[in-house]
Amino acid sequence: MGVIKIERRKQSFMERLYIPETVKGMFVTLRHLIHNLLNYKDLPIINYPEVKRVYSERFRGRHILTSREDGTTRCVACYMCSTACPAECITIEAGEDDRTREKFPTRYEIDLLRCVYCGYCVDACPEDAIYMTRDYELAIDTRARSVVGLRDLVVPPNMPTEPMGWRPYYGEIRKEGTAGGTGRGQEIRAAAFGDEAAPNPELYKGEARPKSEADSRQGA
């Protein structure tokens, strides 16, 4: 194939002014505005913040550090969460209690802008100390405010934070008291499905499947 030479079309005087095209674009915007105002109920939008979207019960949002019943934080500054963090957004400095010789965090900071909200810190914590709530409203005006410390993370015992969001999975264990010192946590459903029945009952009966004609011939 030969070289295709494309020559630029010379613009007219009105096109060089850009005025007609700008007016056309404004009329397109005005047409969409009028259409949306007349069909407001059909728009795929919500009136935030009065109306908020419903996210998953395991949504990974803002972090919290849970407390014991005596008010002390459950974190023992073992560095497991910061070691497991792939974004390296957790900074911990440990201290030691002179009475119990137990370690505790004198500094615990999370850079929320660097965090990827993977939940690895929750999974790695051996003390059930860090949870991720369903709070996704993390608007800030400066980068310095994105770094949250103990004052922002530690919550008092029995603080109602349900539903919890991303937390250690306990299976079918029913906790009547507090879960991690932060309230009852999520209600455990009696069945995995809303109507207490599996989508395909035949698949979950646990019975042996009937032999097909090919299996019968093979057995014979």
Query: What is the helix (H) or strand (E) element at residue 132, kind and residue range?
Result: strand 130-132
> Mean pLDDT in the chain?
77
**Per-residue DSSP letters for 81-101?**
HHHH-TT--EEEEEEE-TTT-
d(CA 210, CA 215): 10
pLDDT, position 27? 96
201 pLDDT tier (thresholds 50, 70, 90): very low
Q: What percent of the chain has pLDDT over 90?
A: 30
d(CA 163, CA 134): 7
183 pLDDT tier (thresholds 50, 70, 90): very low
170 pLDDT tier (thresholds 50, 70, 90): low
Protein fold of 55-188: Alpha-Beta Plaits (3.30.70)
Q: Which residue has the higher pLDDT, 204 or 108?
A: 108
* pTM exceeds 0.75: no
What residue type is assigned to position 25 of the chain? Answer: G
Angle at 120 between CA 114 and CA 123, to 5 degrees: 150
Q: Which structure tokens are listed for 164?
A: 């919890």
d(CA 196, CA 174): 18
Is the per-residue pLDDT at 172 higher than 60? no
Angle at 57 between CA 54 and CA 61, to 5 degrees: 85
Q: pLDDT tens digits for 14-62?
A: 778 888 889 999 999 999 999 999 998 888 888 888 888 878 878 898 8
Strands 103-111 and 90-96: antiparallel
Where exactly are the structural domains of the chain? Answer: 12-45, 55-188
d(CA 175, CA 14): 75
Q: What percent of the chain has pLDDT over 70?
A: 74
